[in-house]
Every structure is written in structure tokens, then in C-alpha cells.
Amino acid sequence: MEKQTRGNKYALAALKRQRAEMAGKIVELKKKLEWAENQLVHLDGTLKLLDPTSEPSQLPTARPKRMKLFKQGELSGTLIDVLRKAEGPLLTDELATSVLRKLGYEDEARPAMTPRIRSSLLYLCGKDRVTRLHRGRKAMWKLDE
């Protein structure tokens, strides 16, 4: 049993780290949910105060509006510009860092921006504007020639 555990120690460490991060996200989300539910109670109370006959719980729900971080084509154009100026292929994280700097965002925006950057790169890849070298965390990108 010890030999099997020793061989998997890196995988186990990675899984434990991922689990701890996921548990942390869940705690954060529960706090956000509790805050939102509390705000909803206050909104319902205000609605009842202004219109005692209203039933706020009967109102339809609405999807929250998506925050637009980029103008039409701005992200794709920035990615192509960064890749054009690069001396070689860049990792997704390197591209994200360059885009954040170029557009004037702080590093705190990285978690929200990286998935959008990755999606834009995949879109550009499908349009034969960029090429992906490797997959996953080691994905590198270059302009198509």
C-alpha cells in the first residue's frame, strides 16, 4: 500500500489542492448567496411597503446582464496584435498577462478574463487566424502564416 501511495504522491497532492480550492470557492459562493438572499428580502419589503397588494415572490426572475469587458472585436484584435509582436509562440497565461497590461486591467481581472481570452483564441483558431500548439495548461499560440 505504501508503494502505491508513494507513486501517486504528486497526483494526491494536486487532488488535495484542487479539493481545497473548490471547497474555498463553495464557501465564497455560499456567502454571496446569503448576501443576495438578504438583499432580496429587503427589496421584497420595500415593494410591500410601496404596494401592500403586491406579491414580490410572484414576479418573474430575470437573468443578470453579462458584463461587457471588451468592445466588438477588441479582444481578438488585441490578441492578434500581441501575437504579431511576440518573438515566438506564447502560452495562454502569457497572452493573458499581455492583454491585461495592454488594455489597462489590474491582475485581479485575470480570473474573469482568462476564460474569455481562451474562448477568443479558440474562435480565432477555428477561423484559421491563429494556431494552437499543444493542449491544456501548456497550450501555446502563434499567428497563422
Tens digit of each residue's pLDDT (9 = 90 or more) over 19-46: 999 999 999 999 999 999 999 999 999 9
Same domain, 137 and 82: yes
Using alpha carbons, list the distances in angstroms from residue 100 to 27, 43, 93, 108: 28, 36, 10, 10
Instruction: Compute how many other C-beta atoms are within 10 angstroms of the C-beta atom of residue 124.
Output: 21
**Residues whose CB falls within 8 Å of the CB of residue 3, separated by 6 or more in sequence, listed in order:** none
Answer with the one of 34, 58, 82 that is the final residue of a domain: 58
Least reliable range by pLDDT among 32-36, 78-82, 101-105, 134-138:
134-138
Same domain, 81 and 52: no
In a domain, 67, yes or no: no
Q: How many domains does the chain have?
A: 2
In a domain, 63, yes or no: no
| pTM, entire model | 0.54
Same domain, 53 and 78: no
Quick: pLDDT tens for 40-85. 999 999 999 999 999 999 999 988 776 677 788 888 999 999 999 9
Range of the domain at 42: 2-58
**Given this model, what pLDDT does residue 47 score?**
95
Q: Name the residue with higher pLDDT: 79 or 5.
A: 79
The C-alpha atoms of residue 79 and residue 113 are separated, in whole angstroms, by 12
**Given this model, what pLDDT does residue 1 score?**
45
